[in-house]
Structure 1
Amino acid sequence: MSTLTLPRWFARTRSAGSAPAPSRASLRIGVPRVLNLWSTHQFWMGLFGALGVDPRNVVFSSDTSEEQGRQFGKGRGTVDCCYPVKCISGHYGELLFGQKQKLDVLFSPMIYTLPSFMSGHVARTLTCPRVMAAPENIKAGFIKERDVFAEAGIAYAAPFVSLDEPRLVPKQLFEGLRNVVPGLTAAETAHAVDAGYTALAAFNARLRRKSREVLEWCARENRACLLVLARPYHMDPGIGHEIEVDLQAYGYPVLWVQYAPVDDDLMAWAFGEDIRAGIVKSAFDIRDVWPSSYSSNTNEILWGAKFAARIPWIACVIRLSSYECGMDQPTYTPTQQIIERSGTLFFSFQDLDSTKPAGSVKIRVETITHYLDKYAADIIAKKKATAAAGCPLYAATA
């Protein structure tokens, strides 16, 4: 029989009030549905699934809403002019106080770099520093007077993670999760990270395939579609206010730049002339319009403008941006110029905040659809006339 050492002797036993750690299968993990989780959620689902966590026990908070903020985030706010960051308090509060079945972990990663289809073609794929640091910023509102996490018996995990640097991620996540996932090892963390990347790649490929099908349909029917240039979290109905949904209700298909098709044949057709002329080195090179290519979401927005300008059936581009977004403001003019010089319609909804201005949005949507109804056919015809021959989108129509 082993002899009890002093630390073991004085350690609190289960009968003294501590509960046994839950098994991985029963571990309940809460994830706030915010910021860059909108484009990386499948990575985390793949990761936790590979670690033995039941997918049904990975609980995402609901979409952002003013009611969520009032009910769960009141008094927890921190000073920040960025609404997508400020609203995280409501998501944290909902996960802490609004669950019928208690969570074991609140997981809110600090994502430093993002996996992007532009990796290797731009300088970096960094996230906004305000967005990256948001988990710790918002956490402060829940520990400023007392530690709400400790009182609720919920562990808090906010690992710093560089998702565009896969060789670093296993070490980063092992350090960040070892205290909340029972028996975690470095080897299985590495395996789970691989599973996460596989799940994310499969999800992205599926949506890109759907986007290509939409463009092929537009080419076949000679119909117009719209492209949304925005950050991933503008897909949140409480932040982007479903403006693209209002537009789609008028019968126009809507694509998002994050899931634009990037097939080799389409890229060669759209950007081949610029590559051969030495203007850019690849289809994803944006140095001709944006030399400071460090921010992942900004890079994709600028590339999306170039993509829209070259695809005849993208007759209109919608730009969404949140109030006082310092990352977006320098891109307004170049984005608009790229799009309008191609003859494509451009409309922007800037300074979006917590409240949807329903009346003005309705008027803007009606204006956009009026211009599309009136000019889309001419826009498509003019862009087709200047496009390179042999568009691969026609292949599906044969």
Structure 2
Amino acid sequence: MRLSIGIDIGSTTVKIAVMEGSRILFTHYERHMSQVRTKTLEILEKVKALVGDEEFTVSISGSAGLGLANSANVSFVQEVFATEKAVRLLLGDVDIVVELGGEDAKILFLTGGVEERMNGTCAGGTGSFIDQMAVLLNLSPDEMDKQGLAAERLYPIASRCGVFAKSDIQPLLNQNADKRDISASIFHAVVEQTITGLARGRQLTGKIAFLGGPIHFFDCLKKQFKETLALSDENAVFPEYDLFFVAAGAAIYAKESGTALTYNSLAERLKNAAADTGHNTYMRPLFETEEEYQAFSARHQKAAVEFADLSEYKGDAYLGIDCGSTTVKLVLTDSDNRILYSYYSSNKGNPLEAVKKCLLEIYSLCEDRVTIRGSAATGYGESLMVNAFGVDFGLVETMAHFKATSFFRPDVDFIIDIGGQDIKCFKIKNGAIDNIMLNEACSSGCGSFIETFAKSMGYDAEEFAKLGIFAKHPVDLGSRCTVFMNSSVKQSQKDGASIHDISAGLSVSVVKNALYKVIRAKSADDLGNQIVVQGGTFYNDAVLRSFEREIGKEVTRPTIAGLMGAFGAALYAKEQGKAQSSISPKEELENFVNTTKEAVCGGCTNKCRLTVNTFSGGRKFISGNRCETPLKTAAQKDLPNAYQYKRSLFDEEKAKIKPGTRGKIGMPYALNIMELYPFWTAFFAELGIEVVFSEPTTRKTYELGRDTIPSDTVCYPAKLVHGAISELIHRGIDTIFYPCMSYNLDEEKGDNHFNCPVVAYYPELIAANMPAVKSVRFLYPYLGIDHPDTFPKQMMKCLAEVYPDIKRAEVKRAAKKAYAAIGAYREKVREFGRRGIAYAEEHDLPIIVLAGRPYHIDPEINHGIDRLVSSLGVVVLSDDSVCDFVSPPKVSVLNQWTYHSRLYSAAKFCAQSERANFVQLVSFGCGIDAVTTDECRSILEREDKLYTQIKIDEINNSGAVKIRLRSLLCAIEQKTEVKPK
């Protein structure tokens, strides 16, 4: 047989290659829009003239090809195997292959032993990720590519998931950052994900071939790969048929082991396979009859607000603006709280233009008959609105939503607001917010989750939502993240589910994600009896019906569910009783101009890169700052901040280190060393050894060591160790000391005093995964500092080979000084806690105990959260500054970790204090903190105190953090008389 055909059916496209020997005769590439069999048959027709009646061999490959190959009884070849065959035949001397597809990504190492690495559960860093980000920027993918090529700076953006990335990009859009820079940053994030998520510690060097649609179509992505990996033109290979290597590999495989067929027989097999259906799990319909739906709709029309005609109204009015993550909402109310004007739409990546357009429309309708007495803004873009348009008040969105809810249901027990990317849940007790729950990083229970699927299937969100209302057989898709769900949706389509069934199934999934992943409800009783739902997602009757059915209760959905934030802001503006709003008049809006420039803040060590927006009338808005430092006046002073104090102690310790008679020894300033440094500096100083710590960590520290990180899910503090070690080696330090320690010092607060596995044994991982440590003396002994009697012997054994002249008596003296130094350090921290409490009492200020791990004091890890808290008028203390002021609490878990036991004691301190409140910092990837979060919450809630958790990783999302902290302070203000100054 002369010809062979390879068909590559990927997650989003079908590719075909016809080969004669090693020559490619024909190729074709097309998106299948989930219609896999239909599209494959269409494309196959294009080769009919080429093959005629001649028999050929054929093989199918690709992530979505196996099912079709099996049902059509056609040979299948795994795509990595196919890629390798094509690369070896068509390219020859290539060391590494990087291939990005629609949802699949893989790296094939050909030199030094063949190995392939593929993405498993995440489609971050693939074509679908890029498509989603283009939609968010309101650009076509091609436009985003062109914009990125003209960029001048890069922002750190997560790429492991579209949800994380949206959380990083939306604040940039709301701050009016340049879309050229955001576009380039998105492509750079794809490269970062390839290095950290796929390579996972194996270095990308040598001659690298880049394949797949995203790399083929996006020149900015090619540029970012070359620059980030520092590849020469010779080592960066972008082949002519880069889209078709899997298809070509399948054709090569077909020549050897494929199925021999003619065109007609292959087409017949595929047509017959198209009728084959799978075994979806279906649920009962959301509504059995039209009458049932009508009764449901009528019930939910009762929670309504009155509307009035603005074109005829005369009198006072109050404006509320809700600038959310993906949408802009405006409400204008009269003195009787009737709505005169409302607006709800996507911000299309430009919230300023959307709001300006609405304000001009309002002025046109008002003429001279209406006076706007007050205005308030809420949401992610709150500060932008206040500064750009002179809005009178800024209101944290949790309070705005609570105010609006109370208007409809004063006796509300529970509020759940599902927006585009955010879920906000409030428990209400005695007319005040008692607990706040927000989604951390996953928006699979949000509106954008459904919107993404709607667009991928050619529908708008509203149209798609209606399809599910009368679906006969809603498909059970489970409650999983968007990436998993993408695969489930595609599979259910292949198995015969209709669009209607999928729409209904997704609505059920949204509800399950919200209930069981965000709220983590054990039963419907956890939500109370009077439940109000709001947010644009609940306009979807299928979602609302699914929610009521899942909890087994009827709920209240206001008819303005999507406008509740704006309506609450308008109510707040009215309460403030201003005589005249300072919002920009019509003439100023018509000449509204916004200019931006970049700057770097020198107010603290964060060195934030700022975007300075200047608006008409000279108003300015500074964004990008992690705290309020660039906005402070000289009269404002810093409040007690335990994190800042602990950082200053380290600076003082470093300044005291003197050159040693026995030379230098390096230590990474990371993980537990950030707390134990007084111990080690005192110990080595006594021995005449100068300790050299790695420099304060920055994003560059992470980038310096990222190519040796073997796990993309380990916590960010651990990832930074790689960069800290690299930095020491680059500075010429030839001896590095980083001990393994199963145990911490025994603080007598728990059942045991272990270090967590990452802290305890990360030196072992460094030794195994960082080739550079083989060029120096890397000392990583197992030590037990919890046993002062045996510690000198252990250290003597470790140091003898490097320092043969050291005597046992010297080591004993050094150990004695080390234990005294760490004891003195801990007393200083406790004393600061006492002073901080006294200061708060004297000045009537609230306290937030920012509880976490010792390494959470690092500004690169906490992203300046401690300074942000302080800037809100709060005294900041750490868990170790207060944990000794109470007896250890009784807990319901095995209390065997030193850092955990501190958290529990700090939570008890806050539970017993009228002034102190607890905020826990948790690193993504910290598995054992799953235990601490529930236990700390339990300790606090037993005393009717609020629990707040902030998850942090390498990406800075200060906007969401600030909303959470302000929400906490507002809730505290409602419950107590202690108010931030």
Fold conserved between structures, TM > 0.5: yes
TM-score range, shorter chain: 0.7 to 0.9
> Which among 71, 78, 82 is matched to residue 714 of structure 2?
82
Distance 1:363 1:291 in 2: 32
Q: How far has the Cα of 1:219 moved from its partner?
A: 2.9
Distance 1:348 1:155 in 2: 41
Counterpart secondary structure, 1:161: coil
Distance 1:32 1:26 in 2: 20
Equivalent residue for 1:197? 819
Counterpart secondary structure, 1:312: coil
Equivalent residue for 1:40? 676
Equivalent residue for 1:366? 966
Counterparts in 2 of 1:58 and 1:356: CA distance versus 1, 3 Å: same
Q: How far has the Cα of 1:233 moved from its partner?
A: 1.3
Equivalent residue for 1:396? none
Q: How far has the Cα of 1:134 moved from its partner?
A: 0.3
> Which among 689, 695, 708 is matched to residue 62 of structure 1?
695
Q: Between 77-86 and 189-198, report the one with greater CA deviation.
A: 77-86
Q: How far has the Cα of 1:141 moved from its partner?
A: 2.1
> Which among 907, 917, 920 is matched to residue 319 of structure 1?
920
Equivalent residue for 1:276? none
Q: Between 327-336 and 57-66, report the one with greater CA deviation.
A: 57-66
Q: What amino acid is the match of 2:679? A: F
Q: How far has the Cα of 1:40 moved from its partner?
A: 1.0
Equivalent residue for 2:937? 336
Q: How far has the Cα of 1:203 moved from its partner?
A: 1.2
Asked if structure 2 preserves the Cα contact closer than 8 Å seen for 1:160 and 1:176, the reply is no
Equivalent residue for 2:740? 110
Asked if structure 2 preserves the Cα contact closer than 8 Å seen for 1:30 and 1:107, the reply is yes
Q: For this pair of structures, how many residues does the alignment match?
A: 321
Distance 1:379 1:333 in 2: 27
Could you say which structure has the greater relative contact order, defined with CA pairs below 8 angstroms and 6 or more residues apart?
A: 1
Q: How far has the Cα of 1:300 moved from its partner?
A: 1.2
Counterparts in 2 of 1:326 and 1:213: CA distance versus 1, 3 Å: same
Equivalent residue for 2:836? 214
Distance 1:25 1:40 in 2: 23
Counterparts in 2 of 1:180 and 1:260: CA distance versus 1, 3 Å: farther
Q: How far has the Cα of 1:87 moved from its partner?
A: 2.2
Counterparts in 2 of 1:204 and 1:338: CA distance versus 1, 3 Å: same
Equivalent residue for 1:354? 954
Equivalent residue for 1:94? 727
Distance 2:864 2:892 in 1: 29
Structure 1 or 2, whichever has the larger Rg, is 2
Q: What amino acid is the match of 2:728? A: L
Counterpart secondary structure, 1:176: helix
Distance 1:245 1:370 in 2: 18
Distance 1:221 1:75 in 2: 49
Q: How far has the Cα of 1:185 moved from its partner?
A: 2.1
Q: Deviations over 1:107-164 (max 9, x none)?
A: 1111221124x32x42210101222110110222223xxxx3453xx32111211222
Asked if structure 2 preserves the Cα contact closer than 8 Å seen for 1:212 and 1:261, the reply is no
Distance 2:660 2:842 in 1: 50
Counterparts in 2 of 1:261 and 1:349: CA distance versus 1, 3 Å: closer
Asked if structure 1 preserves the Cα contact closer than 8 Å seen for 2:683 and 2:815, the reply is yes
Answering whether residue 768 of structure 2 is matched by residue 135 of structure 1, we say no
Q: Deviations over 1:273-327 (max 9, x none)?
A: xxxxxxxxxx23x3x214412111111111211121112221x211011113111
Distance 2:729 2:791 in 1: 27
Counterpart secondary structure, 1:318: strand
Counterparts in 2 of 1:51 and 1:92: CA distance versus 1, 3 Å: same
- Paired-residue identity, %: 26
Counterpart secondary structure, 1:363: helix
Distance 1:355 1:137 in 2: 24
Counterpart secondary structure, 1:115: coil
Q: What amino acid is the match of 1:86? A: K
Q: What amino acid is the match of 1:246? A: L
Equivalent residue for 2:900? 298
What aligned pairs does 1:141-220 form with structure 2 within 5 A after superposition? 141-143=769-771, 148-151=772-775, 154-220=776-842
Distance 2:722 2:926 in 1: 19
Q: What amino acid is the match of 2:912? A: R
Asked if structure 1 preserves the Cα contact closer than 8 Å seen for 2:682 and 2:817, the reply is yes
Listed as ranges, the gaps of 5+ residues in structure 2 are 1-658
Asked if structure 2 preserves the Cα contact closer than 8 Å seen for 1:109 and 1:161, the reply is yes
Q: How far has the Cα of 1:167 moved from its partner?
A: 1.6
> Which among 215, 220, 240 is matched to residue 862 of structure 2?
240
Counterpart secondary structure, 1:320: strand
Distance 1:371 1:160 in 2: 47
Distance 2:958 2:672 in 1: 26
Distance 1:217 1:167 in 2: 40
Q: How far has the Cα of 1:205 moved from its partner?
A: 0.7
Distance 1:312 1:212 in 2: 15
Answering whether residue 123 of structure 2 is matched by residue 123 of structure 1, we say no
Q: How far has the Cα of 1:340 moved from its partner?
A: 2.8
Distance 1:52 1:290 in 2: 47
Q: How far has the Cα of 1:370 moved from its partner?
A: 3.3
Counterpart secondary structure, 1:111: coil
Counterpart secondary structure, 1:160: coil
Q: Deviations over 1:323-372 (max 9, x none)?
A: 1311110221221121133233321012x211112332232233334334
Q: What amino acid is the match of 1:77? A: I
Q: How far has the Cα of 1:47 moved from its partner?
A: 0.4
Counterpart secondary structure, 1:344: coil
Distance 2:815 2:662 in 1: 20
What aligned pairs does 1:18-33 form with structure 2 within 5 A after superposition? 24-25=660-661, 27-33=663-669
Asked if structure 2 preserves the Cα contact closer than 8 Å seen for 1:343 and 1:379, the reply is no
Q: How far has the Cα of 1:199 moved from its partner?
A: 0.8
Asked if structure 2 preserves the Cα contact closer than 8 Å seen for 1:82 and 1:322, the reply is no
Counterpart secondary structure, 1:64: coil
Counterpart secondary structure, 1:110: coil
Q: How far has the Cα of 1:59 moved from its partner?
A: 1.6
Q: TM-score, normalization: structure 1?
A: 0.75
Counterpart secondary structure, 2:919: strand
What aligned pairs does 1:372-387 form with structure 2 within 5 A after superposition? 372-377=972-977
Q: What amino acid is the match of 2:744? A: L
Counterpart secondary structure, 2:778: strand
Counterpart secondary structure, 2:821: helix
Q: Which has the higher helix share?
A: 1
Equivalent residue for 1:226? 848
Distance 1:48 1:231 in 2: 25
Q: How far has the Cα of 1:222 moved from its partner?
A: 3.7
Distance 2:906 2:962 in 1: 25
Asked if structure 2 preserves the Cα contact closer than 8 Å seen for 1:157 and 1:180, the reply is no
Q: What amino acid is the match of 2:882? A: A
Q: TM-score, normalization: structure 2?
A: 0.31
Q: What amino acid is the match of 2:687? A: L
Equivalent residue for 2:946? 345
Asked if structure 1 preserves the Cα contact closer than 8 Å seen for 2:845 and 2:873, the reply is no
